[in-house]
Structure 1
Amino acid sequence: MKNFIKYGFTFFALLFLGLGWVFAQEKDKTLPKANEEYSQSKYSDAEADYRISNSKFPNRSVSPYNLGNAIYKQNQASEAKYAYAKALKNAKSRIQKHKAFHNLGNVFMKEKDYTQAVEAYKNALRNNPTDEETRYNFALAKKMLKENPPKDNKDKKDKNKDKNKDKDKDKNKDKKDQDKKDGDKDKDKKDNKKDGDQNKKDGKDKQDPNQQPKPQPGGISKDRLENLLDAVNNEEKKIQDKVNAKKVKGRPVQTEKDW
């Protein structure tokens, strides 16, 4: 697998280098020099000159594409994909797009990002459906993706599961807290009622001795009734005493007989 991808990468680089010679006629003297350095495996020097060429002709696709190749050869795959992305942006022909997408797929394969690799090779085939190397790499990327599914889906499911679990836990906790609050409220109400009843009872037991008794509904107070009865009894006693006194006064006095 590794050798095949490497072969495809090198083959596409040489094709694009050939296209680069056409642009070299347009006063881009740096590009041929960079191509020569690349062919001599002087990838660091080639990278520097490709950057110069790209800065002079920013709307062309050859320099950024070859720049991506030089960076890739220095084991900087993640950085190389940005150069390929610019090459795709400037690409005018289907051939240029095919080569850039193919090598971009190689970058994703090296990063083990098989989802993106499949998409890159798929786009390469859209621009050249007959290329056997791209077809092979596309099939290989799909196989690797099947054997190594992305963790995002599993992590997302686990995260959602944990999130729902936390929600249920929070709901249960909130319900318990609310039930406790309601229970405390009921207890406070009962305690307040109990205190009120006790205060009411204490109020009856601890009446002020100087306080006048309140009249009972529908009649006079008990104390007042007792006082009236005492007064009536006293009056009756006085009357009875007068009657008895009169009886004694009108009765003939009996004297003792002398024997």
Structure 2
Amino acid sequence: MIKHILTFLFLMPILHNLSAQQSDAKDYIISGNQNYMEGNFTKAEAQYKSALGEDSNSIKGNYNLGNSLYKQKRMDEARVHYDRVIQNLNATNSDKHKAYHNIGKSYLDEKNPEKAVANLKEALKLNPYDDETRYNYALARKQLEEQQEEKDEKNQEKKENQDGSNEDQKDSKDNAEKQDEGDKGENNENQKPENENGQQPDGENGNEDGDGKAPENQQITKGSDGKEKSSSQPMNTERQEGLLDALRQQEQETLKKIISQKAQKVRVNTEKDW
């Protein structure tokens, strides 16, 4: 009995100090709330920090400090204190729901819908009937879909630009190959045929500054039989003799005609004179 009394007497100062600290933390929180309602978020922040100095595990102190930092656009710092509420073993589902909701809202304001969706989804698990949470969750989902569509469009555009660039490179390569082939064809056309000595005709040692003309293509003239004639082809002996005989016969016939014509002329003249 005496032992229990001594223990109680030993714990009384500790409990008194703890109660006094909680009371001081509560006073700071009340003062901070007043500043918050007046829109003085800097003073509210100071009061909440003082409250946490008395009781670092204060759920209200961390949550309200997170709100005052959120109002000052200091999102990273605000999320730290919201997370402390979530990790607090004494926090209720309602406390955790509000902390998850505000974390999701902070990411939504920063145009980070992916993290916003994740935290708002956790908030809905704790309270699926909160209309504000459901609205923000739907808005975050919509922003996430729009970002994904925009990302897909950029990737598609990038792919099309790359394909177009590759096509241009291919066309340039094809044009270059065609140009090379054309240059080779022109070079071949500009080359003159060489004779048996390895020299180009009408020039000196194959140079193009010779005085003669390049050989022209043979053409069939109008009225010809389309057969090429050559005077350089040698005749055999029989053909030569046959041609000579034909010439002799033709000469004889021509001579006879001349004699006959002269004889007729003499007869006519004689008759006319007579």
User: Given the two structures, how large is their TM-score scaled by the length of structure 1?
Assistant: 0.51
Give the structure 2 partner of residue 34 of structure 1. Answer: 28
Matched, 1:158 2:153: yes
Give the C-alpha shift of residue 173 in structure 1. Answer: 0.4
Give distance in 2, aligned partners of 1:110 and 1:173: 44
Give the C-alpha shift of residue 48 in structure 1. Answer: 1.9
Structure 1's 148 and 202: CA in aligned 2 closer, same or farther, altered over 3 A? same
Structure 1's 44 and 153: CA in aligned 2 closer, same or farther, altered over 3 A? same
Structure 1's 116 and 201: CA in aligned 2 closer, same or farther, altered over 3 A? same
Structure 1 unpaired stretches of 5+? 1-22, 209-259
Matched, 1:69 2:64: no
Equivalent of 1:45, from 20, 43, 46?
A: 43
Give the C-alpha shift of residue 30 in structure 1. Answer: 6.7
RMSD between superposed Cα atoms in Å: 4.2
Paired residues of 1:98 and 1:123 also in contact (CA < 8 A): yes
Give the C-alpha shift of residue 172 in structure 1. Answer: 1.6
- What is the percent sequence identity of the aligned residues? 20
Structure 1's 169 and 118: CA in aligned 2 closer, same or farther, altered over 3 A? closer
Give distance in 2, aligned partners of 1:202 and 1:63: 106
* AA in 1 matched with 2:123: A
Paired residues of 1:77 and 1:107 also in contact (CA < 8 A): no
Give the structure 1 partner of residue 255 of structure 2. Answer: none
Paired residues of 2:116 and 2:140 also in contact (CA < 8 A): no
Give the structure 2 partner of residue 171 of structure 1. Answer: 166
Give the C-alpha shift of residue 40 in structure 1. Answer: 1.5
Give the C-alpha shift of residue 106 in structure 1. Answer: 4.3
Aligned to 2:89, the other structure's residue is in SS state coil
* AA in 1 matched with 2:88: A
Give distance in 2, aligned partners of 1:139 and 1:112: 18
Higher RCO (CA 8 Å, separation ≥ 6 residues): 1
Give the structure 1 partner of residue 122 of structure 2. Answer: 123
Structure 1's 179 and 150: CA in aligned 2 closer, same or farther, altered over 3 A? same
Give distance in 2, aligned partners of 1:65 and 1:54: 11
Paired residues of 2:97 and 2:124 also in contact (CA < 8 A): yes
* Aligned ranges 1:240-255 → 2 under 5 Å: none
Paired residues of 2:28 and 2:47 also in contact (CA < 8 A): yes
Give the structure 2 partner of residue 102 of structure 1. Answer: 101
* AA in 2 matched with 1:67: L
Give the structure 2 partner of residue 87 of structure 1. Answer: 84
Structure 1's 94 and 58: CA in aligned 2 closer, same or farther, altered over 3 A? closer
Structure 1's 100 and 162: CA in aligned 2 closer, same or farther, altered over 3 A? same
Deviates more, 1:78-87 or 1:37-46: 78-87
Give distance in 2, aligned partners of 1:207 and 1:41: 108
User: How many correspondences in the alignment?
Assistant: 181
Paired residues of 1:47 and 1:67 also in contact (CA < 8 A): yes
Paired residues of 2:59 and 2:91 also in contact (CA < 8 A): no
Structure 1's 197 and 82: CA in aligned 2 closer, same or farther, altered over 3 A? farther
Structure 1's 28 and 102: CA in aligned 2 closer, same or farther, altered over 3 A? same
Structure 1's 44 and 160: CA in aligned 2 closer, same or farther, altered over 3 A? same
Paired residues of 1:115 and 1:145 also in contact (CA < 8 A): yes
Give the structure 1 partner of residue 236 of structure 2. Answer: none
Paired residues of 2:100 and 2:123 also in contact (CA < 8 A): yes
Aligned to 2:35, the other structure's residue is in SS state coil
Structure 2 unpaired stretches of 5+? 1-16, 207-274
Give the structure 2 partner of residue 235 of structure 1. Answer: none
Give distance in 2, aligned partners of 1:174 and 1:182: 12
> Which structure dedicates a bigger proportion of its chain to helix?
1
Paired residues of 1:118 and 1:138 also in contact (CA < 8 A): no
Paired residues of 1:34 and 1:47 also in contact (CA < 8 A): no
